[in-house]
Amino acid sequence: MFSRRNLAALGAAAAVLPALHRPALAQASLPETPIRLIVPFPPGGPNDLIARLLAQKIGPLIKRNVVIENRSGAGGVVGTDAAAKAAPDGTTMVLTSAGAIAISPTLMPAMPFDVARDLAPLTLVALMPELLAVNPKLPVKTLAELIAYAKARPGEVNFASSGNGSMPHLAGESLRFATGVEIIHIPYRGAAPAVTDLMAGQVQMMFADMPALLSQVQAGALRPIALAGDARSPLLPEVPTLAEAGQPTVAPVNWYGLVVSAKTPAPIQALLQEAAAQALRDPELVAAYAGQGAKASPSSAEEFRRFIAEETRRWGEIGKRAGAKID
């Protein structure tokens, strides 16, 4: 698990970044063309929104238009691969995710790129704690009640996910391992159909990024049970964290980060990293991310590299124990 201590260290490092001397913004130069920011998911999702907000803030800092390009497929792998193979001149970045560069490499039989060899991490961008919600007809209101209900009905409670090997899938598996409940995984092709069936009662529970569930929770169509992360969300202040609810080892926090082709010259990597980190400290962007349940989380490239390695180890262990596979 990426520990609370490590998350705190990332936050502390981000806090001192404004005071550092940042020569790259003045010394490096980019081609006189728009910059592509690949979003490896369809328009309208959390990744897409986070990318568009970031693009608006980065553009003026590097004096280039930053254009969003949605290239979805294979849980973010297709779009991330496009960035890995793009011209290494700084004109293509990708806002990738935990699924594409920390989970898929351990569960997908044939990856089209090697994370360590083909990608250069720039900065962690946002942390997105997973929210656990249930169909409101389920007679439970707390995590303890949900666990007791599932234990009394082994194999009868289903949990939905946005696909095999996705963060919501492994979140459910981590809860299963921590509590010993026999709950059944039902994979869907994306979060939207999973949420639809959750509201209809075809499945009973689901972990997901908060934006995928928030409007349904606020409308009373779903009941929130617990939230991952170190603190409650101001969007749902009555919902306890998983740690508060008695499961501190169940900590599924999705995340998004900015990477480029590993062949990109170091000065250009530094320029893009510093611009992104500066954008991620913008109060307007921080507030916009918080409104979606995300936390702006700038980091150094090396901190992000270590973060990816630890997340790969963590989710790889859970995925292999669950027998998860990504086709």
Give residues with Cβ within 8 angstroms of 19, minimum separation 6: none
Q: Considering only CA atoms, which of 35, 103, 114, 44 is closest in space to residue 74?
A: 103
What is the CATH code of the structural domain delimited by 4-128+253-322?
3.40.190.150
pLDDT for position 27: 55
pTM here is 0.88
Of 204, 115, 129, the residue nearest 171 (C-alpha): 129
pLDDT at position 20 is 39
- Digit-by-digit pLDDT tens for the chain (327 residues) are 334 444 444 444 444 444 334 544 545 689 999 999 999 998 988 899 999 999 999 999 999 999 999 999 988 999 999 999 999 999 999 999 999 999 999 999 899 999 999 999 999 999 999 999 999 999 999 999 999 999 999 999 999 999 999 999 999 999 999 999 999 999 998 889 999 999 999 999 999 999 999 999 999 999 999 999 999 999 999 999 999 999 999 999 999 999 999 999 999 999 999 999 999 999 999 999 999 999 999 999 999 999 999 999 999 999 999 999 886
Give the distance, in angstroms, between the CA of residue 296 and the centroid of all CA atoms in the same chain: 12
| Token pair listed for 145 | 């009640």
Q: What is the pLDDT of residue 21?
A: 42
> How many whole angstroms from its chain centre is CA 38?
15
Q: Which residues make Cβ contacts (< 8 Å) with residue 124, sequence separation at least 6?
A: 10, 255, 256, 257, 297, 298, 299, 303, 304, 307
Q: Match 């995928």 to its residue by tokens.
A: 212
Ranges of each domain in the chain: 4-128+253-322, 130-227
Residue 297: its H or E element: none
Token pair in block for residue 48: 């897409």
Q: Does domain 130-227 have CATH number 3.40.190.10?
A: yes
What does the block give as tokens for 215? 């409007």
Instruction: Kindly report the backbone phi and psi dihedral angles of residue 162, in degrees, each rounded to the nearest multiple of 5, phi listed first.
Output: -85, 10
